[in-house]
Chains A and B, each alone.
Chain A
């Protein structure tokens, strides 16, 4: 590749990373704002950090949000990956309908989905909202995202590879675990990262499925709009970013993520559909 093109591309990439992180920088800076309402910068203080640890309601909300996110990610990634894989392969009965069905949750306005689940759980099961209900709701809208990402990746995969593995003596299970799974692994991981963000941030569907004591962080924050979102929220977000960044850094240094270059030259066949 021409080195000129390289440089432009890299410059562009750096610009985009700056774009992605600009609000994060602001977020971190404003976690030190003296003003309780955090609309305008009034001065520097680190008081919000200790205060945040004394804020029971905020910490509870964070805890609920994380628990739901973990459950949602694990279940929806598993189910969604299988779904995506199936949709990428040979035709089966109901495939067309399934393809449309997975698009439906995404097309549904959140408020419609939220209310539908409210009625479903409320009238049919007499539920008043709970963490479990939120988790189910999240899994429901997350599955599609994972399925679509995995399908896009699996689409180009040579379907004969798994067959070949089986011919060579692997069991059906083994072929799946040792051939198919590693090939779609990046898509599965990407899907997982995506739905974690989705679940962590979800507001509308969650607010219809939350109950007493199962307030999530987005609901907590959104309810604070009227009087200004306290810098404690910024502080918590800063801590989250910090923790993940540190974990990332450690992982990078330790080389866990290091040894890339593609291990299997799998794409010897040109994708024709």
Chain B
């Protein structure tokens, strides 16, 4: 089967239902809106992009990048051991264990987030436990902070990390791992020099599947965050909704996309190079 043909349905679909609509929005991003809020394309120009590059947005961009990076790193740090455990120690129950990982995510995302609010809020489960154990006398404000945002995002994206990691780790041949342990005196050595590089495609996939959507997530920081946790994704949303400014919102959205994409491609290239170092 020619590889070229395999690609056709996927690329074809994306071109039609993704690329074309995106192109429309791209065109819109160069337009302006008239007094009644309708998009006007008569005067195309870069004004929206210039507006979107103002330094006032830096804090929001900074927040987005910070949260997404932390989320990705945490997801990898948590996801890798668990994927490894399921693959190497799951035995007959591997698939069940894997599905068990996904199970919480077949409930409603919003309810799960509300559940976190119930756990993290001032009179919530976490504080109740801490206070009844006498560890603190005043409730700790977990909710509406950077902490709750990163926690919520990591939680939400964990399966996106675990699944590709598992798929990659599971591929490892036992013999290779054994050989590695024979070659290197410590388990750590075997891990760093054999296992890690071999599972790099999975790690890259997991990082990509976590970082990119995290940059665009505005609902989680909105629900779990506070006055100080605004993200650039939220700004885009505000521009489209209460600001009714589709051209401006589109421009900022594209800027966000370019930055996310550039960062991701750069990271992938460097990770790939390191594998063969």
Contact = CB atoms under 8 A, between A and B. Distances in A.
How many A residues touch the partner, as a band? 35 or more
A194 B213 CA distance: 13
Contacts of B90: 260
Interface in B243-277: 246, 249-250, 253-254, 256-257, 260-261, 264-265, 276
Interface in B1-60: 1, 3-4, 6-7, 9-11, 13-15, 17-22, 24-25, 28
A143 B104 contact: no
Contact of B89 (A2, A10, A30, A190): A10
Contact of B111 (A107, A147, A151, A234): A234
Interface stretch (B133-141, B142-150, B233-241): B233-241
B191 to A, nearest CB: 10
Interface of chain A, helix or strand or loop or mixed?
Answer: helix
A113 B233 CA distance: 13
Nearest to A268: B173
Given A13-B81, A106-B213, A152-B201, A257 B95 contact: yes
Given A22-B119, A240-B107, A82 B10 contact: yes
B164 A140 contact: no
Contact of B257 (A38, A82, A108, A115): A108
Interface string A196-230: 11001101100000000000011001100100010
Contacts of A270: 176, 198
Considering residues B115, B166, B176, B253, which has the most beta carbons from chain A within 10 angstroms of its beta carbon? B115
A116 interface: yes
A149 B25 contact: no
A122 to B, nearest CB: 10
Interface in A118-143: 119-120, 136-137, 139-141, 143
B6 A221 contact: no
A16 B213 contact: no
Nearest to A243: B106
Contacts of B78: 16
Contact of A259 (B7, B92, B164): B92
A82 B198 contact: no
B108 A143 contact: no
A181 to B, nearest CB: 11
Nearest to A136: B17
Q: Which 7 A-B pairs have the closest CB atoms?
A: A83-B10, A23-B115, A116-B21, A120-B21, A86-B6, A152-B205, A267-B173
Given A78-B9, A98-B7, A103-B261, 18 more contacts: A9-B84, A10-B89, A24-B104, A27-B115, A82-B9, A83-B7, A101-B11, A109-B237, A111-B249, A112-B250, A115-B25, A119-B21, A153-B202, A186-B167, A194-B102, A234-B111, A244-B106, A248-B99
Interface of B: 1, 3-4, 6-7, 9-11, 13-15, 17-22, 24-25, 28, 78, 81-82, 84-86, 88-96, 98-112, 114-116, 118-119, 123, 125, 155, 158-160, 163-164, 166-168, 170-173, 176, 187, 198, 201-202, 204-205, 208-209, 212-213, 215-216, 218-219, 233, 236-237, 240, 246, 249-250, 253-254, 256-257, 260-261, 264-265, 276
19 contacts: A1-B187, A9-B84, A13-B85, A24-B103, A26-B125, A27-B115, A83-B7, A86-B4, A87-B7, A103-B261, A107-B216, A108-B18, A113-B21, A143-B14, A149-B164, A186-B167, A187-B167, A197-B159, A265-B173
